[in-house]
């Protein structure tokens, strides 16, 4: 008799991890309820998607794209008059699978009206303390992270790197050189502003931060750009870079741009990887230990 091949049907995380996940989701919602931040739910499929060259979307033929972040739709809510808001839910990115990545993952994203990035850092630190327990956090400038990188060997591969790729490599090595702890990297170069505004007192750097905990990148936040013309310019810069690299070139999100034209109120926002935060809480180093069905078992 021919046997059917074995099928990996079981979840990759433990039942204890499922309980911890449920408890942490409840704790996050309680954190925002106490602070008067409204929970919203936007679509996981949108007709438009991001243009960032480093982020690849998953197309849904005939409908659009699985969303890489709820950011654009949440900003449309803010432009329509919503108060400070947050969202907890699934997002999707192509080609991201491994020990720290899964194409579908859970993102916590929130926006605070009238805040800047430095004030938002304090709230991110408070949220992390509510989940992981209290511990000090430190701020470090992007340039100082790069300065911590070891001297790169003079090899052929290095000569093939562009100036931006070399800077990205040095930044990554500098992050690896940080001591364990909770680090907020601030003052990114202006050309890495993404959707952040530039600092009024120093336009060579962006009002952007990243949270790294014990070497794991957790969150990325901005004092949000509200200038529609500048956002259009950045979208076109991204699209040109994608075209040069031979990547798919999505159209700019016309609805987001229309919302910016209408008027996005001054705000700060942050996207935090919930699964990675749970990994830290449970002391595991593989995302498969905190989600039941990663892509190879979904």
Give the pLDDT confidence of 44-55 residue by residue, as tens digits.
Answer: 999 999 999 999
Question: Is the pLDDT at 155 greater than 70, yes or no?
Answer: no
12-28 per-position pLDDT tens digit: 999 999 999 999 999 99
Domain contains 295: no
Q: Give domain status of residue 19, yes or no.
A: yes
Query: Is residue 129 over pLDDT 80?
Result: yes
- Looking at residue 156, what is its pLDDT? 52
CATH code at 179?
3.30.930.10
Q: 262-277: per-residue pLDDT in tens?
A: 999 999 999 999 999 9
pLDDT of residue 95: 83
**Terminal CA-CA length for the chain:** 29
Report the pLDDT value the prediction gives residue 157, as an integer from 0 to 100.
64
Residue 89 lies in a domain: yes
Q: Decide if 9 is inside a domain.
A: no
> How many domains is the chain built from?
1
Identify each DSSP E strand in the chain by its residue range. 38-39, 45-46, 58-60, 64-66, 85-92, 104-113, 137-141, 182-189, 198-199, 202-213, 216-223, 267-273
- Tell me what pLDDT residue 163 has: 83
Q: What angle do CA 210, 194, 260 make, to 5 degrees?
A: 120
Give the model's pLDDT for residue 47. Answer: 97
The answer to the question of residue 144 being in a domain is: yes
Residue 264 lies in a domain: yes
Long-range contacts for 40-47 (Cβ within 8 Å, ≥24 apart)? Answer: 40/74, 40/77, 40/82, 40/85, 40/86, 40/87, 41/87, 41/89, 42/67, 42/70, 42/73, 42/74, 42/77, 42/87, 43/67, 43/73, 44/89, 44/90, 44/91, 44/92, 46/72, 46/73, 46/253, 47/255
Give yes or no for a contact between 69 and 271, defined as CB atoms under 8 angstroms apart.
Answer: yes
pLDDT tens-place string over residues 220-263: 999 999 999 999 999 999 999 999 999 999 999 999 999 999 99
pLDDT, tens only, 160-217: 678 888 899 899 999 999 999 999 999 999 999 999 999 999 999 999 999 999 999 9
What is the pTM (predicted TM-score) of this model? 0.94
Share of the chain above pLDDT 90, in %: 90
> Domain span at residue 34?
15-289
Which three-class secondary structure state does DSSP give residue 55?
Answer: coil
């Amino acid at each position: 008799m021919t046997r059917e091949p074995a099928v990996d049907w079981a979840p990759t995380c433990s039942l204890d991890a499922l309980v911890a996940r449920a408890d942490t989701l409840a704790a996050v919602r309680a954190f925002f309820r106490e602070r008067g931040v409204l929970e919203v739910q936007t679509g996981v499929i949108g007709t438009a998607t991001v243009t960032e060259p480093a982020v690849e979307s998953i197309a849904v033929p005939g409908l659009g794209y699985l969303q890489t972040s709820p950011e654009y739709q949440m900003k449309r809510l803010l432009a329509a008059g919503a108060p400070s808001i947050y969202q907890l839910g699934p997002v999707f990115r192509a080609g991201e699978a491994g020990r720290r990545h899964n194409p579908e993952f859970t993102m916590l994203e929130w926006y605070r009206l009238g805040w800047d990035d430095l004030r938002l850092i304090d709230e991110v630190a408070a949220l992390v303390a509510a989940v992981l327990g209290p511990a000090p956090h430190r701020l470090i400038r992007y340039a100082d992270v790069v300065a911590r990188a070891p001297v790169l060997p003079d090899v052929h591969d290095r000569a093939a790197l562009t100036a931006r790729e070399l800077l990205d490599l040095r930044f990554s090595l500098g992050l690896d050189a940080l001591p364990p702890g909770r680090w907020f990297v601030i003052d990114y170069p202006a050309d890495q502003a993404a959707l952040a505004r530039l600092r009024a007192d120093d336009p060579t750097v962006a009002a952007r931060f990243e949270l790294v905990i014990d070497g794991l990148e957790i969150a990325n936040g901005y004092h949000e750009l509200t200038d529609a013309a500048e956002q259009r310019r950045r979208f076109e810069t991204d699209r040109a870079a994608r075209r040069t690299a031979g990547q798919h070139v999505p159209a700019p999100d016309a609805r987001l741009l229309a919302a910016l034209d209408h008027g996005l109120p001054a705000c700060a926002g942050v996207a935090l990887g919930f699964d990675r935060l749970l990994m830290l809480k449970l002391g595991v180093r593989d995302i498969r230990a905190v989600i039941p069905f990663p892509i190879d078992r979904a």
